[in-house]
Amino acid sequence: MSDYDDVDSGSHLPPSSAVSSSPAVVEFVSNSGVLPTTVSSLIRQPGTTLWEIPTLIVPPTCRVDQLIVGFIQDCRRLSQLESLDNILRPSRVNVKNFLEYHPASPSTEPPRCQLADLDRAASTTVTGPGAKHPMAELITALVNKAGVTNVIERLAVFAITQRAIAWLVHPTLEAYQAIVPELTPKPCQTRIPHPQWVDLILWAPLRTAIIERQELYANEEFQGVYSSSLRLISWAARPIDALVVDPQSGEMWLSDTFTAHAMRLENWRLNENFVRRYPELRGCVAVEGS
């Protein structure tokens, strides 16, 4: 597989029997009405730790899913050959190109990172003017496609998504402890097949509602309304204060203070646009002004 487009169908996906021996926390189900026995047996295995229990997902259902699943699978392949620390846990990632929102065009696909780019990034530290880190490229494509437009929310989503993707690729205790605690999978995520993007929804009750009523909520319209409604609260400083800037190279990366702020669920809300569209889900989320 050379790029993310190769995950359009289940025919490209690894067999479910490979899950217990690979660094994965997802299990594919080609028929969403059938639960494979490998998942329940994996969960019951005495040696399976909490952070290794897989979420149960279906093949990609939309472009956002294609990007996430393609990146995860390419990283897993590469992990058989070399360390992924420079990709998953870099000391810093230049987010300068991430600041501006560029709406996804129906006729233009989001940028794709090829396996060769991941290999190059895994072998070297990605720095310098104009350098593009694969994780930054992935999350830029995700937030542009989903419709996260405000700068401060884009930066905050970056902090959360980077850590969540790192855990999905390589489910170690360290990676598990680094994610937003509320993103730890709930029982329905390990029992009911669902799109991968649902695992990144911040509020656990909302994830449960989506998974249990996928015919209503597991679609791109919901994805767009949710993403555009995200609001980070209680950050009194300016967006630029969320960044550390290298005056020599012009590189920018998230400050530790801002990252810590973004990683706390109590600092997140959805605005009224979300509850106007989905009033029945008001009780599943924190609404702006509450």
Q: Give the tens place of pLDDT for each residue, 21-34.
A: 333 344 444 433 33
Quick check: 80 and 206 in contact, CB under 8 A? no
Confirm whether pTM is higher than 0.95. no
Q: Phi and psi (nearest 5°) for 191?
A: -115, -30
Percent of the chain at pLDDT above 90? 50
Task: Read off the amino acid at residue 117.
Answer: D
- pLDDT at position 41, please? 33
- Judge whether residue 14 has pLDDT over 50: no
How many other C-beta atoms are found inside a 10 Å radius of the C-beta of residue 139?
26
Question: CB pairs under 8 A, 24+ apart, for 233-237?
Answer: 233/267, 233/268, 233/269, 233/288, 234/261, 234/267, 235/152, 235/261, 235/267
Greater confidence (80 vs 162) lies with: 162
- Judge whether residue 269 has pLDDT over 90: yes
User: Beta-strand (E) ranges in 126-220?
Assistant: none
Average pLDDT of every residue of the chain:
78
Confidence of residue 2 (pLDDT cuts 50, 70, 90): very low
Query: Over the stretch 180-194, which tens digit does the pLDDT of each residue have?
Result: 999 999 999 999 999
Judged by average pLDDT, the poorest of 36-40, 47-51, 216-220, 240-244 is: 36-40
Average pLDDT over residues 219-241: 95
Query: Over the stretch 101-137, which tens digit does the pLDDT of each residue have?
Result: 666 555 555 444 544 444 444 445 544 444 578 888 8
- pLDDT at position 13, please? 34
Quick check: 16 and 45 in contact, CB under 8 A? no
Question: CB pairs under 8 A, 24+ apart, for 185-188?
Answer: 185/53, 185/55, 188/212
